[in-house]
Structure 1
Amino acid sequence: MIALAASLLMMGVVPADAATAGKPAGFVAVQKTHFTRDGKAYYIAGANFWYGAYLGANDKARLVKELDTLKSMGINNVRVLAVSEKTDMPSAVRPATTSAPGKYDERLLAGMDVLLAELAKRDMTAVIYLNNFWQWSGGMTQYLNWFAGTPALDPNVTKDYDTYMRETAKFYRNDKAQAEYRNVIRTFVQRKNTVNGRAYASDPVIMSWQLANEPRPGNGNATADEKAVYVKWIADTAGYIRSLDKHHLVSTGSEGLAGSAQDADLFVKAHQARDVDYLTYHLWPKNWGWIDSKRVDATWNDALAKSSHYLNVHIDYAKQLGKPIVLEEFGMDRDGASFDIKAPTTVRDRFYKEVLDVVVGRAEKGDPVAGFNFWAWGGAGRAANPDYWWKEGNDLMGDPPQEEQGLYSVFDTDKSTMALIRQYADRLHALERK
C-alpha cells in the first residue's frame, strides 16, 4: 500500500472533485471522495436492473410496478443496459436494440426514454452502460464479428472463457469497432427523450455514463501490451464521453481486481484517468470458486475471509486515489444451489449482511464508499421453462440469458432479502441527512 501510494503521487493523480464545477441543479457530482447532489451528500442504495429499458418498451405496467417496489425498499439508483447487438449466439437477449452497425430499433431505444421518465417521477437515478464485455447482449464479441469477420464467441457453448476473454479484448484495437462504438455513445448522449422532451445530456436522472459492463484487458494472462491498450482505451473513451457531455459522471464498469488480471497497479491506472470520476468493483465468490453452494458449511469461512479482503482492499485503493467507489455488483444463489423461487435464501441473506456490513460500515466511518448495487432485481419476473434457461418471449429478470433464470435474482417474494436491503439503504440515506 505504501508503494502504491508513492506511485500514485508520481503519476500525478487528479482529484475527481474537479467534476463538481459548474454542475447544474439535480446532477450527481463528486466532491473529494464522495458523491453530492445539490450540495448535499448522496449515497447509492441501488439495484442492477439491466432490462429496465426493455420493460419501458414492452411492458410499462410491469416497469411501474418494479420501480414502485424498488422505491419502497429504499432503492434510489438502478444500473441498466443501454444497447444490445443482434447476434447468432444462443445465450444473448432477443430482440436486440441494434440489428446491424448504425441500425437501431427506435421502439426499443424509446424504452430508455420511458424508463428515465419514470425514474424522474420517483427521484431515482440511473447508471447506463454502453457496451458489454460479455456475450449476453451481443457486446464486444459481436462488434468483432461485424468488423473483423471473426466468430462471435459464446462461452456458454465453447465452455472456454479464457479464449473468449483473450479474443474479445481485441475489440479495443479494432479501429472500425471503436468508430461504431463511438457512434453508439454519441447516439445515446445526444438523444432527446421522446416522453418528456428532455435531452439526455441535460437530464440529471442519468447519474453516470459507463463504458461497459465488466471490461477487462483479456484473460488472467493478459500481457503488458494488452494491459496498456486497455488503460488507454478507458482514458480515451472516457475523454470522448466528456467531450460530448460536461455534466454527467463517467465510470468504467470494472469488476475490480478480478477484471484486471489480479493486477492492482492496472486497476489503479484504469481509474486514475482524469475523466473517470469514480471507481467500480464487483464481488462474485461463487463464480470465482470461493464457495461451494452445496457445501456451504465447509467453504463459508474461507469465502467470507476472501470476500472481506476483496471488499476492503478496493476501498483502500479508492482512498489513495482520492475518488469514490461503488460496489456495483454482488450476488449469491439460493440455498442448495436451487433456481426455484420457492427455495430459501438463508445463505444469500447471510452473505448480503456480511457484504453490506463492510460497505455501509466503512461509509459510516467516512471512507470513500459511495454505495452499492446488488445483483440483481428479478422482481415480478418468473422462470418459464423446466430447465430454467431463458427463451425469447419469456419474462426478463435479473439473470441475463447466459445464466439460469433464478440463479442470482432477488424476486418480489424474497421478503427477508428485501427487508435486509431496506435496512442498509436506510443507514446510507441517514448519512445524507447528517
Structure 2
Amino acid sequence: MTLSRRAVLAALAASPALGAATAKPKGFVDVAGGKLVLDGKPYRFVGTNLWYGAWLGSPAAYGDRARLTRELDKLKSLGVTNLRVLGSGERSPAKVAMDPTFRGPGEDYSADLLTGLDFLLAEMARRDMKAVIYLNNFWDWSGGMPAYLNWTGNGTWFQQGDPAHPWPEYPDYSARFYGDAKANAMFRHFIRAVVGRTSTISGKPYRDDPTIMAWQLANEPRPGGTEAFGVRNLPTYYRWIDETAGYIKTIDPNHLVSTGSEGAMGCLEREACVVEAHKPASIDYITLHVWPNNWSWIDFKNQSGTYEAGEARCRDYVTRHIALAKGLNKPLVIEEFGLIRDDRNFTPGAAATYKDRFYTTIFDLTLADMKAGGPVAGTNFWAWNGEG
C-alpha cells in the first residue's frame, strides 16, 4: 500500500479555516462548527490502527518497548499521526481470544498492560501523535462483550464461528450486553480505572493528557444481528450509548467520546439507526468502517470480477455517511477500512493490486471532502502490522 501522504498534507493546507476557537485546554482535540479542531484550527489526519500498542509497551516479557518506539518512528516518518488503540481486553474461553488481557471477572486489572498503555501514550506524546482508545469490543477476539456475558451467566456462552450457532446468532448474543446491568457495572468499574488513571510514566492524569483525542465505547458495537432481536433491542442500545458516553464525561470532561460504530452496516443496515446512535450530545463525532470483503461487496475469491461494483458500493456508503454527518453537524472519521491482498496472500511484499486501488479510493473521497470543507476529519487504515 502507498499512502498519499503528500496529497493529504496539501489538502490540509487548502482546507477552509475555522473561525471558532476551541473550548478545550490547549492541545486537546475539540469540535467546533461540525469539524474537529485543535487549538482553533482544523484538525485533519492520516492514521492507522495499532490495537496492540499497550502490549508492546508493557514491561512484561511479552512486551517490546524497543520495537514499539521503532514502529512509532516509522509511522511518524510516513505522516501517520493518529492511532486507534485497544485499551481493554477481557479473559475469555474463545480460542481466538488474545492473552494476556487487561482483566478477568474480578477487579484486579493488569498492572503490566496499564503500564504498557502509559508507555504508549508517553511515546506518542514525544512524537506529537493523538490516540483514540476503545474500551470494549463487540467481537470476541479480545474477549469483549461476550466475556462479560459469560461472567454474569447471561445465556449460554459460545464463540463467534461456532457451527452450532450459525450467523447471525453471534451478534444477537453479544448485543445482550447493553441490557445486562451487572455486566455494565463491571464495565463501568473498568472504565473508571482506565479513564481516571494517572500515568506511571508521565505522572499526568489521563484526563489532562492531550495525547488522547478520544475515548471510544467499543469496537463496532451493534444492536444485534437479526431484525427480530435487533429492532427490539434498539432502545436499549441507544440508551447504553448515551449513558455510557455520559458516564465517561463525568470522569473526564476534557476528551471527546465516540461510539466505534461501523455505520449503517453495523446498525441493522439502517441509516436512521446511525443517526439515533450518534445524535446524543455525549457523542462528539461519527465513526465509519468500510469492509467490502467482509460484507460480500467484493468477493475475496474473485476480486478482479467483483471489484468495480464493490468499489461503487463503498463510494456510495461513504458519501451517504458524509451526508448523515452534515445532517447531525458532527465530524466524521473513517477509522477502519481494509481489503485482502491479491490471492489472499499475507506475505509482506505480496501483490496488493486491488487493496491499493481501494485505499486510493478512500483517500480520494477523504481529500475531496476535506477540500470542500466537509465533515471528514481523517482516516485510520486497518491495520499497521509493522515488524510483526
What's the TM-score once normalised by structure 2's chain length? 0.91
The one of 308, 321, 325 equivalent to 1:318 is 325
What is the CA deviation profile of residues 373-405 of structure 1, one whole-angstrom value per residue up to 9, with x for unaligned ones? 000000100xxxxxxxxxxxxxxxxxxxxxxxx
- Taking the aligned partners of 1:34 and 1:339, their CA distance within structure 2 comes to 37
Task: Please report how far the alpha carbon of residue 104 of structure 1 lies from its aligned counterpart in structure 2 after TM superposition.
Answer: 1.0
Distance 1:374 1:294, change over 3 A: same
**What is aligned with 1:270?**
277
Change (3 A) 1:247 1:130: same
Alpha carbons 2:22, 2:40 under 8 Å: kept: no
**CA distance in structure 1 between the partners assigned to 2:301 and 2:22 by the alignment:** 51
Give the superposition deviation at 1:364.
Answer: 1.2
**Paired residue secondary structure (2:158):** coil
Residue by residue over 1:7-37, the C-alpha shift from the partner in whole angstroms, topping out at 9 and shown as x without a partner, is xxxxxxxxxx9x9764111100001121111
CA distance in 2, matches of 1:195, 1:359: 36
Match of 2:236 among 181, 204, 229: 229
Q: Which residue of 2 aligns with 1:35?
A: 36
Distance 1:113 1:145 in 2: 29
2:45 aligned partner, one-letter code: I
Deviation at 1:220, TM superposition (A): 4.1
What are the superposed Cα offsets for residues 151-189 of structure 1, whole Å, 9 maximum, x if unpaired?
432113337331110011111111110101111111111
Aligned residue for 2:182? Answer: 176
Task: Tell me how many residue pairs correspond in the alignment.
Answer: 364
Residue 82 of structure 2 corresponds to residue 81 of structure 1: no
Matching of residue 327 in structure 1 with residue 334 in structure 2: yes
Q: Are the equivalent residues in 2 in contact too, given 1:260–1:266 (CA < 8 A)? A: yes
Which residue matches 1:53?
A: 54
Amino acid at match of 1:38: D
Give the 3 Å change call, closer, same or farther, for CA 100–223 of structure 1 in structure 2: closer
- Three-state SS of the structure 1 residue aligned to 2:57 is helix
- Counterpart residue identity of residue 244, structure 2: T
Task: Name which of 342, 345, 349 aligns with 1:338.
Answer: 345
2:139 maps to amino acid: W
1:123 corresponds to which residue?
A: 128
**3-state SS of 2:162 partner:** helix
Query: 1:247-291: CA deviations, max 9, x gaps?
Result: 100000001001100111111010010110000010000001111
Q: Secondary structure at the match of 2:168?
A: helix
1:339 Cα shift? 2.0
1:286 alignment partner in structure 2: 293
Say yes or no: does 1:62 pair with 2:67.
Answer: yes
Give yes or no for the alignment of 1:296 onto 2:303.
yes
How far does the alpha carbon of each residue in 1:323-379 deviate from its partner, in whole angstroms, 9 at most, with x for none? 000000000111111222242112111111111111221111111111110000001
CA distance in 2, matches of 1:245, 1:344: 45
Question: SS at the partner of 2:204?
Answer: coil
How far the C-alpha of 1:192 sits from its partner, in A, is 0.5
Q: Does the 8 Å contact 1:201/1:248 carry over to 2?
A: yes
**Which residue number in structure 2 is paired with residue 385 of structure 1?**
none
What is the DSSP-based 3-state SS (H/G/I as helix, E as strand, rest coil) of the residue aligned with 1:128? strand
Indicate conservation of the 8 Å contact 2:22/2:32, yes or no. Answer: no
Letter of the 2:141 counterpart: W
Q: Distance in 2 between matches of 1:133 and 1:196?
A: 31
Paired residue for 2:96? 91
Q: Which residue of 1 aligns with 2:382?
A: 375
Q: Does 1:218 align with 2:219?
A: no
The question of 1:190 aligning with 2:192 is answered no
Alignment RMSD, CA only?
Answer: 1.5
**Paired position in structure 1 for 2:150:** 145
Aligned to 1:201: 207
Conserved 8 A contact 2:23-2:30: no
Matches within 5 A, 1:7-22: 22=23
Q: Which structure 1 residue ranges, 5 or more long, are not aligned?
A: 1-16, 382-434
Say whether 1:256 aligns with 2:263.
yes
TM-score of the aligned structures, taking structure 1 as reference length: 0.82
Asked if 1:156 is matched to 2:157, the reply is no
